[in-house]
C-alpha cells in the first residue's frame, strides 16, 4: 500500500478507537442517571401527598450490597424503588412515613438531633427503638440509642433525625429492601413544599464505612443516602 493509503487506514483506525472510547466514557458518565419517583401524577391540587420511605442497612439491588440505602414506595405500584430523586407538587403538605431498619449511632454534630422545618417542628416516633417514643423535637443521640440517619433538606430548613434500632436487637434486616417483619422504628412527620425548584437532601450521620470521616461511599452517591426533591408546579 502506498504511504498515503496506509496513513489513511491508520487515521480511520484511530478515529474508530477514539469514537469507541468516547462512547464508553459517555456511557459511564451519563449512564447512572437517577430514576425519578413521581408523586405529582394524578395529584389533586390542595390535597396532601403521602410519601413512604425507608432506610436499610444493606441493599440487594446494586453492585455495592454493603452500602446503606434509602428506598421509596412508588405511589403508583406500591413497590419499593431504589431511588432518591422524588418529584413533589409545589405548595403542598407532604405527610412522610419513614421506616428505619438500620442501627443507631451517635451523631457527629448534635445539632442535627433537632427536628426543624416540619409542621410543628416535631416528629412522631414509634417502634422498638430504645430511644424516646411519641412526639419528639430533640434527640440526644449520646444518651438514647441514638439516631440512625437524618433526612435533611437544607433548602427547606428541614431536618428529621430517624431513631434507629438497637445494635443488639434480634431479627434485624439483612436484605434490602427490608421486610416489615424485621425490627424497625417508624417516624412520621409533615412538611409543606415551597415553590418549584430542585432541592437537594442529604444525611448527617457518617455511615460510609471504610471511608475517611465516614462521608464517602453511600453518603456521596445519588441513589443511596443523598438525593433531590424536585418540586414542580
Residues lying near other proteins in the complex (CB under 8 A) are found at 3-4, 6-8, 10-11, 18, 21-22, 25, 28-30, 32-34, 63-67, 105-111, 113-114, 137-138, 140-142, 146, 152, 154, 157, 167, 197-198, 200, 202, 204, 206, 208-217, 219-222, 226
The cell for 162 is: 430517624
> Residue 39 CB, nearest distance to other proteins (Å)?
19
Of residues 114 and 188, the one with the C-beta less far from other proteins: 114
Of residues 95 and 211, the one with the C-beta less far from other proteins: 211
205 and 149 Cβ atoms separated by less than 8 Å:
yes
Three-class DSSP category at 5: helix
> Residue 221 CB, nearest distance to other proteins (Å)?
6
Residues 6+ apart with CB under 8 A from 47: 92
Of residues 29 and 44, the one with the C-beta less far from other proteins: 29
> Residue 111 CB, nearest distance to other proteins (Å)?
5
> Residue 105 CB, nearest distance to other proteins (Å)?
6
The cell for 193 is: 413544599
Cα distance between residue 49 and residue 38, in whole Å: 11
Of residues 76 and 111, the one with the C-beta less far from other proteins: 111
Three-class DSSP category at 211: coil
Cα distance between residue 177 and residue 36, in whole Å: 18
> Residue 142 CB, nearest distance to other proteins (Å)?
6
233 and 194 Cβ atoms separated by less than 8 Å:
no
Of residues 98 and 203, the one with the C-beta less far from other proteins: 203
Of residues 97 and 197, the one with the C-beta less far from other proteins: 197
Q: Where are the alpha helices (DSSP H) in the chain?
A: 3-30
> Residue 218 CB, nearest distance to other proteins (Å)?
10
The cell for 208 is: 460510609
Cα distance between residue 58 and residue 67, in whole Å: 6
Three-class DSSP category at 20: helix
Amino acid at each position: 500500500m502506498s504511504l498515503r493509503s496506509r496513513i489513511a487506514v491508520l487515521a480511520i483506525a484511530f478515529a474508530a478507537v477514539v469514537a469507541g472510547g468516547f462512547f464508553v466514557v459517555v456511557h459511564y458518565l451519563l449512564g447512572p442517571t437517577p430514576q425519578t419517583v413521581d408523586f405529582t401524577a394524578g395529584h389533586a391540587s390542595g390535597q396532601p401527598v403521602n410519601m413512604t420511605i425507608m432506610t436499610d442497612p444493606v441493599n440487594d439491588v446494586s453492585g455495592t450490597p454493603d452500602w446503606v440505602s434509602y428506598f421509596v414506595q412508588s405511589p403508583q405500584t406500591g413497590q419499593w424503588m431504589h431511588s432518591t430523586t422524588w418529584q413533589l407538587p409545589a405548595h403542598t403538605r407532604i405527610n412522610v412515613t419513614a421506616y428505619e431498619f438500620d442501627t443507631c449511632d451517635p451523631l457527629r454534630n448534635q445539632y442535627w438531633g433537632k427536628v426543624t422545618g416540619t409542621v410543628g417542628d416535631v416528629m412522631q416516633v414509634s417502634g422498638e427503638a430504645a430511644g424516646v417514643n411519641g412526639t419528639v423535637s430533640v434527640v440526644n443521640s449520646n444518651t438514647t440509642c441514638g439516631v440512625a440517619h437524618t433526612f435533611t433538606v437544607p433548602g427547606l430548613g428541614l431536618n428529621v433525625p430517624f431513631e434507629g434500632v438497637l445494635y443488639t436487637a434480634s431479627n434485624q434486616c439483612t436484605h434490602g429492601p427490608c421486610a416489615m417483619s424485621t425490627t424497625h422504628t417508624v417516624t412520621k412527620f409533615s412538611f409543606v413544599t415551597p415553590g418549584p425548584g430542585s432541592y437537594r437532601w442529604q444525611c448527617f450521620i457518617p455511615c460510609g464505612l471504610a471511608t475517611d470521616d465516614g462521608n464517602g461511599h453511600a453518603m456521596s452517591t445519588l441513589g443511596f443516602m443523598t438525593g433531590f426533591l424536585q418540586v414542580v408546579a
